[in-house]
Amino acid sequence: MKSLTRSIFLLMFLVFAFSCSDDDNPSTTENGPEAISGSVSWEVNNTDINHTIAVQLKINPTFDGESLSNGDKIGVFCKVDNDYVCAGFSVWTGSENIAVTAWGDDSQTTEKDGFSANETFVWRIQRAADQKNYAASVEYESGPENFIANGITVLKTLKVE
Ligand SMILES: [Ca+2]
């Protein structure tokens, strides 16, 4: 009789332990990258001022630890009023080096249509799979880390996490 009671306790413990680990799984998923809410425009104004940023195949950009997919967009955004506007992007192929052309503000137009001198690059990714947009973080290998006319920069890392 004693061993039966002990078995029941053991069984209850196991059921409890398993239900706890089940509860843990969804929260692990929730801790993955969070998409930017609302619509994000990837329309770009091609002005005559630009800064080139190389994204080499060897740096292996990642989304939640997995390599980016063919068709994912990698873009740089500049600040206009209280919003971020795309000022250059390139499509990742997964098989070659790419370069993102960041466009500068055209001083001949009154509106802000690109990066100001020394403005910080804000990086975003759009996944080809579901068209969702995510904030990305980068590290720089060489070159200026802010916008400068005719600048050339090489990325060291690019990830969404
Ligand atoms: Ca302008």
Predicted confidence (pLDDT) per residue in 119-134, tens digit: 999 999 999 999 999 9
The CA 139 to ligand 1 mean position distance, Å, reads: 28
In the reported structure, the alpha carbon of residue 67 is separated from the centroid of ligand 1 by a whole-number distance in angstroms of 36
At 39, the amino acid letter reads S
Quick check: is 37 in a domain?
A: no
Q: Does some domain include residue 16?
A: yes
Q: What is the pLDDT of residues 69-83, one digit of tens each?
A: 999 999 999 999 999
> Do the domain assignments include residue 36?
no
Whether residue 117 is found in the same domain as residue 155:
yes
Q: Using one digit for the tens of pLDDT, what is the confidence trace for 5-58?
A: 677 666 666 665 655 555 554 444 567 899 999 889 999 999 999 999 999 999
Q: 72 and 142: one domain?
A: yes
- Residue range(s) defining the domain that contains residue 20: 1-31
Whether 68 maps to a domain, the answer reads: yes
Structure tokens belonging to residue 148 = 């400068």
Taking the centre of ligand 1 as the mean of its atom positions, its distance from the CA of residue 114, in whole angstroms, is: 7
Quote the pLDDT of residue 18.
Answer: 57
Name the token pair of 80: 């206009």
pLDDT at 27: 45
pTM (2 decimals)? 0.81
| CATH code of the domain covering residue 89 | 2.60.40
> What spacing in Å lies between the alpha carbon of 5 and ligand 1's midpoint?
79
- pLDDT value of residue 115: 98
Model pLDDT, residue 31:
76
* CB 104, CB 123: distance < 8 Å: no
Number of domains in the chain: 2
Tell how far the Cα of 81 is from the centroid of ligand 1, in angstroms: 13
Q: How far is CA 129 from the centre of its chain?
A: 14
Q: How far does the centroid of ligand 1 lie from the alpha carbon of residue 90, in Å? A: 22
Tell me if 141 sits within 8 A of 155, measured CB to CB: yes
pLDDT tens for each residue of 132-147: 999 999 999 999 999 9
Residues 18 and 66 in one domain: no
Q: What is the pLDDT of residue 7?
A: 73
21 and 61 belong to one structural domain: no
If asked whether residues 15 and 82 sit together in one domain, one would say: no
For ligand 1, the distance from its centroid to the CA atom of residue 157, given in whole angstroms, is 31
